[in-house]
Amino acid sequence: MTDTNDTDIIIDSAFDSGNIEVLSIDGAKARLRIPRDRNSEFAQWFHFRVGNAAGREVTLVIDQLKESAYPEGWPNYRACVSEDRAFWGRADTTYDKDTGGGTLTVTYTPVSDMAYFAYFAPYPYDRHLDLIAEAASSEGVRQRRIGKTLDGRPLDMLELGEGETQVWFYARQHPGESMAEWWMEGALEMLTDPADPVARTLRRRCRLHIVPNCNPDGSFRGHLRTNAHGVNLNREWDAPSPEKSPEVLAIRNAMDKSGVDFAMDVHGDEAIAAVFLAGFEGIPSWTDEQGERMYRYQRILARRTPDFQTAKGYPKSAAGKANLAISTNQVAERFGACAMTLEMPFKDNDELPDAAQGWSPERCKLLGRECLAALAEWLGEEDTD
């Protein structure tokens, strides 16, 4: 009989969204490195499991992080960990920018023999398929395959509602931002609830078009930011192509058919420990009236939930300088829509920290509901303008 206390831990990542390179293992300590997305320089997402670990303090050292996509994402970051793949907590984590080209050290003592570690709580492809199937089986919901990815996966869109206001929600253009699909799960649970008064209001007022995962290939491959070709989809919206970015081409074509009045592109941010919205300042057709509609939505959301704030965020583009390859700018310019990018943290929300979980799937889902409630209120105010 082998004494497991004297053997090395075992690290695997050959599964849905798995991504890590094992450099060495010595007992319960491992040296690791994060591989880049295919055909790109982006490296930040990791997801792997550690076996043969019950009752042992596991030390995981990930180096060369100054070369990662967003080095500013590592200070004050804590790795996500789960032993049952249902509840995701945070492990003790430190970052030393001066050692090993930037080194993250994660320590954790599993109760069971196996623990999973990830950059953020993963949203597996099977769960995505379950989300689509459950929503599509709800009354009044239509599922459409609006395109196919480069790896041959379906690009699913859900449609519901009887109103004239065309509302678009879409997520995970950047596949490693898995919090975006947790947000979608919360939003869809609300929208498909026949008793929910906010959902009933939105279904009556709007035609909702929802793409829970714009980049299922990158999600499955364990990419941070790109699709199977190595393309950042959120830099393709001015000229998407079937060869490089069929996902964006399919979504934009569907938008052209429906029109867009309100759009939210759901993301995560590596460095900023807050929830915030980025707008479309700087588009060529900017008007103060169009911008005020966006700012009014921000004010409503800030009043509704303490998890949202407006002090932190991205710099605004100068007049006429907006990048129209980014979806929010393209949609605002193309349709005259009230468009915005929602950003959630990989770390924690510094305004309302949670020592056990940091920013979590549960909070993503709750935020999805609050964003819908804010939309219902925003629409009501539109009637009085």
Strands 154-160 and 80-82: unpaired
Q: Are residues 201 and 209 in contact, defined by beta-carbon separation less than 8 angstroms?
A: no
Q: Are residues 20 and 46 in contact, defined by beta-carbon separation less than 8 angstroms?
A: yes
* Of 159, 152, 178, 204, the residue nearest 375 (C-alpha): 204
Amino acid letter at 153? R
Instruction: Quote the Cα angle for 238-239-242, to 5°.
Output: 140
- Greatest Cα-to-Cα distance within the chain, rounded to the nearest angstrom: 76
CA 209 to chain centre: 18
Is 57 considered catalytic here? no
Question: Which two three-digit tokens encode residue 154?
Answer: 């379906």
* Of 334, 193, 198, the residue nearest 258 (C-alpha): 334
**3 state SS of 356:** coil
Question: Which two three-digit tokens encode residue 354?
Answer: 């949670």
Separation CA 252–CA 346 (nearest Å): 28
Show the beta-strand stretches assigned E in 275-365. 276-278, 338-345
CA within 13 Å, CB half, 361: 19
Q: Catalytic residue among 343, 370, 377, 382, which?
A: 343
**3 state SS of 36:** coil
Q: Are residues 26 and 10 in contact, defined by beta-carbon separation less than 8 angstroms?
A: no
Separation CA 362–CA 118 (nearest Å): 16
Amino acid letter at 275? V
Residue carrying the six token digits 């859900």: 158
Active site residues: 343
